[in-house]
Amino acid sequence: MRFIRWSTALGYAFLGLFLVLPLIFIFWQVLAGIGEVYTSITDPFYINPSPDALANAVFVRPT
């Protein structure tokens, strides 16, 4: 019976690691993307953090 208990616990641990956590991470990234798009539309002072935008940006040295 102890083996069944341990194997069940290990099974739930693997489910949590490889199924639940990635799904939570994907959901979190989708929410972040929605928030990013919403902010870029509604905020007039929004700064685009994409690598292309940063590479093409003109940096002005403060005087």
Whether 1 maps to a domain, the answer reads no
Range of the domain at 27: 21-63
The more confidently predicted of residues 49 and 25 is: 25
Residue 2 has pLDDT above 90, yes or no: no
Sign of CA dihedral 36, 42, 47, 50: positive
Task: Kindly state the percentage of the chain with pLDDT values over 90.
Answer: 21
Q: How many domains does the chain have?
A: 1
What pLDDT, in 10s, does the model give residues 22-41? Answer: 899 999 999 999 998 898 88
Question: What is the C-alpha to C-alpha distance for residues 39 and 23, in angstroms, rounded to an integer?
Answer: 24
- Provide the token pair at 19: 């199924």
Evaluate whether residue 11 is within a structural domain: no
